[in-house]
């Protein structure tokens, strides 16, 4: 068994949840608006470079652009502009060392890279994760009518996910995670669709019956279902996004044997670890938090790994937009996990061989098995 590198620099990775890259050049305000989950820097609070993720950008990203580590934000952004977004993205993505990306293609606030484009930048592979609510809204907009929605959606989802790795639910953003478990009957779905269509205006799925229906459609197709859980932007009511609120639905879906992936989870990641232990089909990660907490990524991972069996933990960056976030999400995951495993070896809690094996599972093996990637 080889030695354990505390940076896990060469560890093969599957980034099982991320988004596309923005390809245009950005002002400082635009860069800061993509740096955290804030809409942007606030007049009251100052620059978002003064945050864990901001200091992490300054620590790790300047060398990728030929600047010294810890370069000031203004110098860094000047150099970024000089190289251009495409070159920056290429350098950042190459530096991640990620082999496979699973991309949520349902969040498109502006034009971003496709899965194939992202993979090409990194010299890796990409697969799509289909956002359930976006597809449902597309089907509803086709004037199929409430009664025909359920059937049309099932057909469309099967077609749309032919090459996809899984599906994703954003029920957390729309109604929270307190969903009942039982599969809703088509008549119930039709009534919910009718309520939505009768409402007029922009079609926006935000009904517990519909979210539950969509999830069950994914389960019925045997597709791993990702859930947004916990940490997100100001649109999220975080107190409705505790993964424990999914308990009923997890209990109901477990017999199907289809993986359910709880994304992000912070600051409820210990709760997620519990669910990963007691429900055989639940997988968990701490993506998005990993780069946002910067220097503290290892502390968060340690908490996740208290109860979560090591065969149920995944890696994701949940990066969106900025190449820097893909690099940081990856690098801080590698260092956070690697240093924890190395410490355990030093304290004789486990062997080097076990540490190497656990790193391989969490980095890629678990995702390959759960998503049947190989």
Residues 118-157 that bind a copy of itself (CB under 8 A): none
Among 89, 96, 161, 247, binds a copy of itself (CB under 8 A): 247
Residue with Cβ nearer a copy of itself (26 or 241) = 241
Angle between helices 132-140 and 208-220 (to 10 degrees): 110
What phi and psi, each to the nearest 5 degrees, are found at residue 131? Answer: -80, 120
Q: Is 229 helix (H, G, I), strand (E, B) or coil?
A: strand
Q: Measured from the CB of residue 181, what is the shortest distance to a copy of itself in angstroms?
A: 11
Distance CA 46, CA 152 (A): 49
The minimum distance between CB 45 and a copy of itself, in angstroms, equals 4
Total residues interacting with a copy of itself, rule: CB under 8 A: 78
- Provide the token pair at 18: 């991320």
Residue with smaller CB distance to a copy of itself, 135 or 370:
370
Alpha carbon separation from 116 to 20, 58, 326 (Å, rounded): 10, 29, 16
Binding segment for a copy of itself (CB under 8 A), chosen from 30-38, 84-92, 103-111, 148-156, is: 30-38
The count of C-alpha atoms lying within 13 angstroms of the C-alpha of 20, restricted to the half-sphere facing its C-beta, is: 21
Q: For residue 102, which phi and psi values (nearest 5 degrees)?
A: -105, 120
Residues 261-280 that bind a copy of itself (CB under 8 A): 266-267, 270-271, 274, 276-280
x/- map, 65-104, a copy of itself, by CB under 8 A: ----xx----------------------------------
- What whole-number distance in Å separates Cα of residue 40 and Cα of residue 35? 8
What x-and-dash track marks residues 302-331 binding a copy of itself by CB under 8 A? Answer: xx-xxxxxxxx-------------------
Helices marked H in the chain:
28-35, 52-60, 73-83, 85-96, 115-122, 132-140, 146-160, 171-174, 186-198, 208-220, 247-253, 269-278, 289-292, 297-307, 323-346, 352-360, 366-370
Smaller CB distance to a copy of itself: residue 118 or 314?
314
- Judged by CB under 8 A, the residue of 82, 145, 257, 346 near a copy of itself is 257
> 3-state class of 332 per DSSP?
helix
From 14-22, 46-54, 192-200, 210-218, give the range in contact with a copy of itself by CB under 8 A. 46-54
- When asked if residue 259 is in the footprint of a copy of itself (CB under 8 A), the reply is yes
> Toward a copy of itself, which CB reaches closer, 213 or 340?
340
**Dist CA 107 CA 112 (whole Å):** 9
Nearer to a copy of itself, 27 or 351 (CB): 351
* Comparison of 82 and 237: residue with beta carbon closer to a copy of itself: 237
Told to check if 47 binds a copy of itself by CB under 8 A, we report yes
Query: Does 195 sit near a copy of itself (CB under 8 A)?
Result: no
| 301 counts as binding a copy of itself under rule CB under 8 A | no
* Nearest distance, CB of residue 144 and a copy of itself, angstroms: 34
Total Cβ atoms within 10 A of residue 374: 8
CB of 272 to a copy of itself, least distance (A): 10
Do 301 and 336 touch, CB atoms closer than 8 A?
A: yes
Nearest to 49 by CA among 27, 74, 66, 24: 74
Interaction residues for a copy of itself, span 161-180 (CB under 8 A): none
Q: One symbol per residue from 210 to 239: x for binding a copy of itself (CB under 8 A), - otherwise; what is it? A: ---------------------x-xx--xxx
Which of 164, 98, 167 lies closest to 128, judged by CA? 164
Shortest distance (Å) from residue 145 CB to a copy of itself: 35
d(CA 48, CA 51): 6
Q: Does 55 bind a copy of itself (CB under 8 A)?
A: yes
Least distance to a copy of itself from the beta carbon of 70, Å?
5
Residue 120 DSSP SS3: helix
């Amino acid at each position: 068994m080889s030695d354990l590198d505390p940076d896990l620099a060469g560890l093969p990775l599957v980034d099982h949840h991320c988004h596309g890259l923005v390809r245009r050049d950005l002002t400082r305000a635009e860069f800061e608006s993509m740096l955290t989950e804030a809409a942007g820097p606030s007049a009251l609070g100052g620059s978002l470079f003064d945050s864990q993720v901001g200091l992490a950008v300054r620590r790790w990203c300047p060398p990728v652009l030929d600047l010294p580590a810890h370069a000031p934000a203004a110098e860094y952004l000047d150099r970024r502009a000089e190289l251009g977004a495409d070159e920056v993205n290429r350098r950042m993505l190459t530096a991640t060392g990620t082999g496979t990306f699973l991309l949520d293609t349902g969040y498109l606030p502006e034009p971003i890279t496709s899965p194939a484009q992202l993979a090409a930048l990194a010299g890796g592979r990409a697969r799509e994760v289909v956002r359930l609510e976006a597809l449902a809204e597309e089907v509803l907009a086709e004037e199929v009518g409430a009664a025909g929605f359920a059937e049309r959606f099932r057909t469309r989802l099967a077609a749309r996910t032919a090459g996809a790795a899984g599906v994703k639910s954003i029920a957390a953003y729309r109604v929270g995670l307190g969903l009942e478990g039982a599969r809703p009957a088509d008549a119930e779905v039709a009534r919910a669709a009718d309520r939505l269509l009768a409402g007029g205006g922009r079609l926006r799925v935000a009904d517990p019956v519909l979210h539950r229906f969509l999830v069950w459609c994914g389960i019925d197709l045997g597709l791993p279902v990702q859930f947004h859980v916990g940490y997100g932007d100001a649109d999220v009511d975080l107190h409705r996004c505790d993964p424990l609120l999914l308990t009923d639905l997890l209990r109901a879906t477990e017999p199907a044997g289809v993986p359910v992936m709880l994304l992000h989870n912070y600051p409820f990641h210990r709760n997620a670890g519990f669910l990963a232990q007691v429900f055989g089909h639940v997988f968990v990660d701490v993506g998005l938090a990993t780069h946002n907490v910067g220097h503290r990524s290892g502390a968060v991972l340690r908490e996740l790994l208290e109860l979560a069996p090591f065969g149920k933990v995944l890696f994701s960056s949940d990066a969106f937009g900025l190449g820097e976030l893909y690099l940081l999400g990856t690098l801080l995951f590698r260092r956070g996990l690697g240093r924890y495993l190395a410490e355990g070896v030093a304290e004789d809690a486990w062997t080097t061989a076990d540490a190497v094996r656990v790193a391989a599972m969490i980095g890629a093996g678990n995702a390959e098995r759960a998503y049947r990637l190989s």
